[in-house]
A and B are shown apart, each in its own frame.
Chain A
Amino acid sequence: GENVEQHPSTLSVQEGDSAVIKCTYSDSASNYFPWYKQELGKRPQLIIDIRSNVGEKKDQRIAVTLNKTAKHFSLHITETQPEDSAVYFCAASTTGGGADGLTFGKGTHLIIQP
Chain B
Amino acid sequence: EAGVAQSPRYKIIEKRQSVAFWCNPISGHATLYWYQQILGQGPKLLIQFQNNGVVDDSQLPKDRFSAERLKGVDSTLKIQPAKLEDSAVYLCASSFPQETQYFGPGTRLLVL
Binding site for B on A (CB under 8 A): 1, 4, 6, 34, 36, 42-46, 49, 89, 91, 95-96, 98-107
Contacts and interface: CB of A to CB of B under 8 A. Distances in A.
B106 A43 contact: yes
Contact of B43 (A46, A95, A104): A104
B41 A106 contact: yes
Nearest to B106: A43
B2 to A, nearest CB: 14
A101 B42 contact: no
25 contacts: A1-B58, A4-B42, A34-B100, A42-B105, A43-B104, A43-B106, A44-B103, A45-B103, A46-B101, A46-B102, A49-B100, A89-B43, A91-B42, A99-B55, A100-B48, A101-B33, A102-B35, A102-B43, A102-B45, A102-B101, A104-B42, A104-B44, A106-B40, A106-B41, A107-B41
Contacts of A42: 105
A101 B45 contact: yes
Contacts of A46: 100-102
User: Which bracket fits the contact residues of B?
Assistant: 20 to 34
Contacts of A101: 33, 45, 48, 56
A43 B44 contact: no
Contacts of B100: 34, 46, 49
B103 A43 contact: yes
B75 interface: no
